[in-house]
Structure 1
Amino acid sequence: MVSRKLAFGLGVFVQALGLAKGDVTVYYAPGQNPLQATGSAAAAAASYTGVAAYNPTTLTPPPNFPIQLVQGGVPGLSMQIPGHFFGFSVEMSVVDQICDTFINVPFLNLIANLVARSGQFMIRVGGNTQETAAVIYDTIANGRVMEKNLTGVSNPTQTPPLLITPGYLALLGNISSLINVNWILGVPFYTPPNFQLDIVELGQQYLGEHLIGIQVGNEPDFYVDHGHRSPGYGPQDYVNEFGELVSAMNNPANSVNQHLLIGPNVDQGWNLQDVWNTGFADTYNNNLAALAVERYPTDNCFAQFGTGTPRDPQSLFPTYLTHQSAQDMASPYPASTAFAQTKGKPFYMMETNTASCGGFAGISDVFGAALWGVDYAMTMAYNNFSGIMFHFGGHNVFYNVPPPTNQSDFHQYTVGPIYYSAIVVAEAIGPSNTSQVQDLGANNGDPNTPAYAIYENGQPVRVLLVNFIDDPSGNSDVTSGISIGGGQTGLPGTTPASVKVKYLRASSVSQKGNYTWAGQTWGTQFSSDGRPVGDEQITTINCDQGNNVCNIPVYAPSVALVFLSDAAQTENAGEPSTTYATTARTKMYNTATVDPAVLATSNGAKQMSSKLASTSKGSASAAQGIRAQLPGLGVVLFVAFGGLGLLGRGW
């Protein structure tokens, strides 16, 4: 009887399900519908009349798109790209937050990871705050190397004038003494001809050969909008003022190297061709170390500062998850990068990121930004940029940053998505300085699955594949069939017996933190000391040499970096990253310690009672009054803090 009742109940339940008539609509962000993105099709639903839970409809797997590579004489390659192509831009006013006066150990470890892959690293220190910086030779309270005049803020971004000491430049020099970091410094340019040249003089003194550029002007095409020049200020005015700076540097009293200058550093306010038409590059050819621009895809200034146009991050998010974004960012510049090559000058993207004015929550700090950063950087390399520097501000932005300064004693760094982009691109381009990049237009130009080939000395060595689609089901995973020679090339097939692949992965484009690169991660918020956690996982994929193809799965979402030979992979492995101990300095407060001799002979009941008080130096606490009531709390604190890895460590 029990079984009959159960059967009857199930029958009624199924019948009720069959009577349900409600429609369900599934919404996808534009360009992110996995069926649309892959061209998959479903079987005719009308052929099945049962309930949805048992519908046998299947989807056509995403296509296996071919990538045909050839050896030697490949048309359409970029120029040779330097290994340190991917760099960082640090706002001049926040160097003390990112590096710290002491030099934060996590910062050293993070940069060491990149130097191990690229041989050297490039950091620009500047931005809006470079324009009003001045050197003072007096000390600043609490041993700081910099002070902000918050009563004199300007610009829509509320930029404060800076006072910096020689110790500021010494800090950068000390970093370069530990790691092979090269610097570009911004020189104040707001009040010509009264230039403040102390910054570059001290830069030369403390940085030496590691000073590779001096940025002249930060977005001068916006000077009028920011109230720093009179209406009508244009390209010729900038070029004239550039000449005034060169003259000031030629003054023997200054002793400044005037051959390291970088300009014009404009955004989209002027037509670049109008700048070149002034004769700028020819007139100052001997003074120019490089030509440069700055650009962001959009801004978040309204939310941050109440200026400009309101932006909706939710509607903007899908625009970052397509190759079209990178192509749009590169589209204004092919003529200018070609022009720079005729002048023998590098061409830099001096400052960029997901959005100016600090980026967007939910865009700048999620895995989608890591995919975007990889695709964007590789597109700029393909378009003959010599370097691209992703900008990092302070704690009021959504880019990756160290912990807030009042938490730096017990929290560590938050490593955001763009750092992962830097690691991937460093390995893709490699340290040889001979790499050439080709946008393959793969998968019939599908903007969801861009792909790049990297050549060295005419030979394909690596392939980088991106899948922007957000679909954890696996239905939007794609497979790339990579072939070398053979087919319609007229050349013999030379596909290797196997290849190695590293994956950049996360569960979703919206995931915050804990991404993995070849199985290793830099963790979540406040968790990284700069060293990757976990064992490296490099996937070996056997190829079908009979059919001259290596089938590479590219998960949705992910990046796959394919090494076509063992040499191509070991070249990019570099030397082991130098790591720096987290006990570099001894802390005298905000620590949990106990005398080992006391611990060995005590159950913790009373020996720590005289130590229990406030965690703030110099203050008292109501905790003193409860010592007698909680005599064992000392050991509890010891175990808790020791278990968290805080005991005996100094930050």
Structure 2
Amino acid sequence: MREIVGRRGTGGIVRRSLSAVGLATALATACAVAAPTASADPTAITLTPKVAPDLGAVTGENLGFSVESADLAHGFLTKPRMSQWLKTLGRHGVLRLGGYSMDLVWPAFGDYRDAPTPPEAIGGRVDRSDLVRLKALLRDSGWKATLGVPLKKIIDPSKIKNPTKDPSPPVTLDQAVAEVKAAHEILGDDLLAVEVGNEYDNVTTLTPAEYYATMKKYHAAIKQAVPHANIKVTGPSANTAKTNTQLDGFVSAVQADTGSDPRQMIAEFTNHLYPQSHCGSSNATIAGLLSPSTYVTDRNKLTGIMDITGRLNSGIPAVINESNSASCSGQPGVSDAYATSLWSLDYLLQTAQSRVSQLQFHTNTAAVCGDFQPRDSEDYPISYRYYGAFCAADRHALDSNRLSATPLYYGLWAFHQVPEGRFLDVGLSDTALSQLRAYAVENRNGGLTMVLINIQDPAASTGDDDVTVNLPSAYRRGQAVTLRTSASDGLASLDASAIRLGGRTISDRGVPSGRPDATPVRVSGGRSTVTVAPGTAQIITFSAR
């Protein structure tokens, strides 16, 4: 039986057939995978979901945001409007407070609470009132936070790569520790950990071993100031390179420190990853963002993270605590396009499947859409980012606390529709990645959710994906929620108002217009066939009743 869901039309479309076979435990044999061809004939691809103990899970805690320390200092993050935008994505997310402005903010705590703010603090001034407002946000949303503390002014000055570039205010270690102490007093258990510096390898010449020694120094100072709080630190938060050289060196330093137990000090192994770049003369593209090579490169990066941190056998989780589509604030026409709806859904699933515990998308929290500020602007630390999850249509909307969901946000909202459970290996061949991304999650309630993403451009003459799921006999019905755009320019569309998830949208207050509608998917004889149109994603949950 075939259900056509999310299809825009048939003009110029070549139909391709992809078959997804159900749980291996319910099947006697596994079929071979056939590679797609360039011909107009139907292409059959058979997938065999099966239990794989090395895969991760959808936990309800896979998603978070990374925001600039400057957003906290300027009060943008903690405005009451932000809570609903977080709650719409779940009640167990994490806000990482840090980013580039981690070294550009003045912590007014301890002996420095009444000190004048130095001119180098272009990221603003943080004091107890900011933490009180942060506590209100966390309490209302259910989210928690990690706190970033500055690094550059606390280490040997000779270790700074470029002292004249964005010089940091003269923060001391005692001052940073005083901020941590205040954060613990105000936030309590909502403070998960303290991050030591941002991309130390970009701004310093510290080796991984030297960075680890610096982290230990911070942890010791925090422990002395707040002896019974058990506040742990995170790192190394190295740059966005596609390799894991810095993490490898850091873990090697931890291994060599046989006199310490990393579980008593390190809360998370933190990593950064941007699949593309808009830094310098680099440019990102939609084709590159959704390409098989990007998918495979990210997969290798994620696998490497788990392999390296696994050497310690410590159980300390690994997270991507800063990421998005392209570094250096994103690429206009790419990072703000509909393509990121599909990409972010796919990327979250890929990351969760890899066993990396959480993926935190870097975002602005208060900016007018498109109002990007150059790096030499005093407003740069709080500027609009092309990859942001939300922005205001204009200054009046911003002043009225009305934000607009960007295409990226719709992908995150789609991920929130996937029930918790463990991933199954669907056996999708890399040769099919130019057409389809596919995931299967065995739900805790016994259901089976498949996420099928046709990454082909609906604005081009590309093909539908006919996906046949062979199901164990216990599954008798299915429900599909579709992510799609009605915009004629397809993946390149910048019109977020044309995006629908199950026919629903997000209001300018962050409230869904309703629960996404699900379309019945027929199951007959242990089989169900669904057509996934180009530029759409299907979240299909099969159940016994």
Identify the TM-score tier after normalising by the shorter chain.
Answer: 0.7 to 0.9
- Judged with a 3 Å threshold, the aligned counterparts in structure 2 of structure 1 residues 101 and 345 are, in CA distance, closer, same or farther, namely closer
Give the alignment partner of residue 318 of structure 2, picking from 332, 342, 347.
347
TM-score, normalising length from structure 1?
Answer: 0.65
Q: Is residue 382 from structure 1 mapped to residue 353 from structure 2 by the alignment?
A: yes
In structure 2, the CA distance between the partners of 1:213 and 1:82, relative to structure 1 (3 Å rule), is: farther
Taking structure 1 as reference, are residues 533 and 268 closer, same or farther at Cα in structure 2, changes over 3 Å only?
Answer: closer
Per the alignment, do residues 97 and 378 of structure 1 end up closer, same or farther by CA in structure 2, a change over 3 Å counting? farther
CA distance in 1, matches of 2:203, 2:407: 31
Output aligned runs, 1:25-424, within 5 Å.
39=37, 41=39, 60=41, 62-63=42-43, 65-70=45-50, 74-75=51-52, 77-95=54-72, 99=76, 102-104=79-81, 107-115=82-90, 119-136=91-108, 151-152=119-120, 160-192=122-154, 194-195=172-173, 196-224=176-204, 231=205, 233-251=206-224, 253-255=225-227, 257-268=229-240, 270-279=245-254, 283=260, 284-302=262-280, 310-313=281-284, 316-341=285-310, 342-393=313-364, 394-398=382-386, 399-403=388-392, 407-410=397-400, 412-424=402-414
Partner Cα separation in structure 2 for residue 88 and residue 495 of structure 1: 38
Q: How does 1:420-499 map to 2 (within 5 A)?
A: 420-428=410-418, 430=419, 432=420, 434-436=421-423, 438=425, 440-441=427-428, 445-456=432-443, 461-472=448-459, 476-484=463-471, 493-494=472-473, 496-499=475-478
Which structure has the bigger radius of gyration? 1
Instruction: For 1:368, give the aligned amino acid.
Output: A
Cα contact 1:327–1:379 (8 A) shared by 2: no
Task: Kindly provide the CA deviation profile for residues 563-591 of structure 1, in whole angstroms up to 9, marking residues without a partner as x.
Answer: 01278xxxxxxxxxxxxxxxxxxxxxxxx
The equivalent residue for 1:518 is 502
Residue 506 of structure 1: CA displacement? 1.0
CA contact (8 A) 1:176 1:182 kept: yes
Q: Where in structure 2 are there 5+ consecutive unaligned residues?
A: 1-11, 17-35, 111-115, 156-171, 365-381
Return structure 1 stretches of 4+ with deviation > 6 angstroms. Answer: 33-38
Task: Answer yes or no: is the 8 Å Cα contact 2:440–2:450 preserved in 1.
Answer: yes
Tell me: CA distance 1:443–1:247, structure 2 relative to 1, closer, same or farther (3 Å).
closer
Higher relative contact order (CA 8 A, sep 6+): 2
Is contact 2:436–2:453 with CA below 8 Å preserved after alignment? yes
AA aligned to 1:89 is: S
**What residue identity is the alignment partner of 1:114?**
L
Query: Contact 1:449–1:467 (CA<8 Å) still a contact in 2?
Result: yes
Shift of 1:234: 0.9
Aligned AA (1:503) = T
Deviations 1:125-181 (A, max 9, x none): 11121234332269xxxxxxxx986x527xxxxxx3431121111111001221211
Are residues 199 and 323 of structure 1, via their aligned partners in 2, closer, same or farther at CA, if it must alter by over 3 Å? farther
Report if the CA contact (8 A) 1:166-1:202 is conserved. yes
1:104-124 CA distance string (max 9 Å, x none): 2xx222212122xxx422111
Cα contact 1:216–1:242 (8 A) shared by 2: yes
| Distance of 1:235 and 1:370 partners within structure 2 | 35
Question: Structure 1 458/324 Cα, relative in aligned 2: closer, same or farther at 3 Å?
Answer: farther
Q: 1:436: Cα distance to partner?
A: 3.0
Deviations 1:68-95, CA, capped at 9 Å, x for gaps: 345xxx1355134421101111111124
**Can you give the 5+ residue segments of structure 1 that lack an aligned partner in the other structure?**
1-32, 42-58, 139-146, 154-159, 225-230, 303-309, 485-492, 568-651
Instruction: Provide the aligned C-alpha RMSD in A.
Output: 3.1
- Structure 1's 202 and 34: CA in aligned 2 closer, same or farther, altered over 3 A? farther
CA distance in 1 between counterparts of 2:538 and 2:444 reads 23
SS in structure 2 of the partner of residue 447 of structure 1 = coil
Aligned in 2, Cα 1:279/1:411: closer, same or farther, shift over 3 Å?
A: closer
Contact 1:498 1:541 in 2 (8 A): yes
Name whichever structure is richer in helix by fraction.
1
SS of the residue corresponding to residue 340 of structure 1 reads helix
Higher strand share: 2
Specify whether residues 244 and 39 from structure 1 end up closer, same or farther in structure 2 by C-alpha distance, changes over 3 A only. same
Change over 3 Å in CA distance of 1:395–1:438 after alignment to 2: farther
Alignment of 1:566-577 (within 5 A): none
Confirm or deny: 8 A CA contact 2:477 2:522 kept in the other structure.
Answer: yes
Alignment length (residue pairs)? 460
Identity %: 18
Kept in 2: contact 1:65–1:479 (CA 8 A): no
Aligned residues of 1:85 and 1:426 also touching (Cα < 8 A) = no
Q: Secondary structure at the match of 1:214?
A: strand
> What residue in structure 1 maps to residue 537 of structure 2?
559
CA distance in 2, matches of 1:559, 1:319: 19
